[in-house]
C-alpha cells in the first residue's frame, strides 16, 4: 500500500500539501487560490474534484487563503477546530470539527491531529495514515515538543518546517520584534532545529523528508539542501518550493513501522458560524 504526496506550495506566501491513495485524497491547508491549486494538481495528473476534505492547521492567511474560492467551486468540506474557525471567519465553508488525538476517517485515510506551539489561536499538526503508511505534517511550530517527536518517529515521510537560517535572520533587516517572534517558542522552526529533530528522531524507515515553509529573506533552498544532504542517510531530501509544486511522490509502507495508535474513530460534527 502506498500514499501519494506532494507539496503544491510551501512558504509564507501560501501552504498546501496533497496526500492521497488510489481512491481519495485530502489537502492539508489551502493557502493558494483555487485556480492555482487546480493548475498545480493538474500538472501532477490529479484533480481537485477528487479531494474529499481539507484539514486546516491554523488560521494564518498563508494556510486558509484559498478556502473561499475552493468552496465556491468545489464545496470541499473543511476540517478545522472550533476556535480556529471562529478566528478565521470562514463563513461560507462547510466546516467540521476535529479534536487533538481523535482520529477521523476519510475513506481509507485516517487523520489524527495533535497540538503544536505557534502564535495562532489553536494550532495543530497532523499525521495521516493509510493501511500502515504514515505521513506527518510538521509546520508552523515554535519549538519541538514531545508530541512532535513521538509522531515524527512514526513517519515514512514527513513535511517538516525549516523556516530560517540563524545567521541570515540575525543579520537581516527584520525589526527586532519580528526576529524575536520568529525565533521565539511560538514562531517557526530554524534549519538547525529541524536538522536536530531529523538526526535524533528519524526512524530508519523514513524514506522521504520534505523541508518546507522556507523564509524568502532568512533562508535559501540551497542552504537547506546542503545541510540535509549531509545528514540524509537513506532518506530522500526534497526542498519544497515557495513558487511551484514538487513532483508527486509515492510513499511505501514498511513492516518495521509502528502503527499509529488511535483511541477510536470520531465522527466530526458540523460547525456553523452565525
What is the phi/psi pair of residue 32, to 5°? -125, 165
Looking at beta carbons only, is 60 or 147 nearer to Zn ion? 60
Q: Which of 9, 36, 53, 60 binds Zn ion (CB under 5 A)?
A: 60
- Of the two residues 140 and 165, which places its CB atom closer to Zn ion in the complex? 140
Q: Write each residue from 193 to 232 as x if it is in contact with Zn ion (CB under 5 A), else as -, in one continuous string.
A: ----------------------------------------
Work out the burial of residue 233: count CB atoms within 10 Å of its CB; fewer than 13 is exposed, 13-18 middle, 19 or more buried. exposed
Written as nine digits, the cell of 221 is 533552498
**CA 8 – CA 127 distance, rounded (Å):** 18
Nearer to Zn ion, 118 or 202 (CB): 118
Shortest distance in whole angstroms from residue 31 CB to Zn ion:
7
Work out how close the CB of 97 gets to Zn ion at its nearest, in angstroms, rounded to a whole number: 20
| Residue of the chain from 122, 140, 161, 245 that contacts Zn ion (CB under 5 A) | 140
**Segment contacting Zn ion (CB under 5 A): 35-43, 137-145, 221-229, 264-272?**
137-145
Under rule CB under 5 A, residue 29 binds Zn ion: no
Strand segments (E) across the chain: 2-9, 16-20, 25-28, 51-55, 78-80, 95-97, 104-106, 109-115, 124-130, 133-138, 157-161, 208-212, 236-239, 249-252, 270-271
User: What would the grid cell of residue 97 be?
Assistant: 470539527
Round to whole Å and give the CA distance between 239 and 94.
33
Q: Which residues form the interface with Zn ion (CB under 5 A)?
A: 60, 62, 140
Amino acid at each position: 500500500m502506498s500514499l501519494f504526496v506532494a507539496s503544491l506550495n510551501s512558504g509564507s506566501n501560501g501552504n498546501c500539501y496533497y496526500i492521497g491513495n488510489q481512491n481519495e485524497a485530502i489537502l492539508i491547508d489551502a493557502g493558494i487560490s483555487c485556480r492555482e491549486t487546480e493548475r498545480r494538481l493538474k500538472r501532477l495528473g490529479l484533480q481537485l474534484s477528487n479531494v474529499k476534505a481539507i484539514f486546516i492547521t491554523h488560521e494564518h492567511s498563508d494556510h486558509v487563503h484559498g478556502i473561499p474560492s475552493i468552496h465556491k467551486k468545489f464545496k470541499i468540506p473543511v476540517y478545522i477546530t472550533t476556535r480556529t474557525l471562529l478566528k478565521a471567519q470562514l463563513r461560507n465553508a462547510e466546516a467540521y470539527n476535529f479534536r487533538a488525538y481523535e482520529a477521523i476517517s476519510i475513506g481509507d485515510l485516517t487523520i489524527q491531529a495533535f497540538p503544536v506551539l505557534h502564535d495562532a489561536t489553536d494550532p495543530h499538526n497532523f499525521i495521516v495514515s493509510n493501511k500502515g503508511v504514515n505521513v506527518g505534517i510538521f509546520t508552523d511550530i515554535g519549538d519541538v515538543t514531545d508530541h512532535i517527536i513521538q509522531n515524527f518517529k512514526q513517519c515514512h515521510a514527513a513535511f517538516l518546517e525549516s523556516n530560517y537560517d540563524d545567521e541570515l535572520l540575525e543579520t537581516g533587516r527584520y525589526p527586532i520584534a519580528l526576529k524575536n517572534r520568529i525565533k521565539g517558542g511560538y514562531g517557526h522552526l530554524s534549519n538547525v532545529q529541524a536538522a536536530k529533530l531529523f538526526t535524533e528522531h528519524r526512524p530508519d524507515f523514513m524514506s522521504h523528508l520534505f523541508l518546507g515553509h522556507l523564509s524568502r529573506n532568512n533562508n535559501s533552498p540551497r542552504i537547506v539542501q546542503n545541510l540535509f544532504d549531509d545528514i540524509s542517510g537513506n532518506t530522500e531530501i526534497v526542498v519544497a518550493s515557495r513558487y511551484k509544486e514538487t513532483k508527486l511522490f509515492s510513499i511505501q509502507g514498511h513492516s518495521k513501522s509502528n502503527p499509529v495508535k488511535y483511541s477510536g474513530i470520531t465522527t466530526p460534527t458540523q460547525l456553523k458560524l452565525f
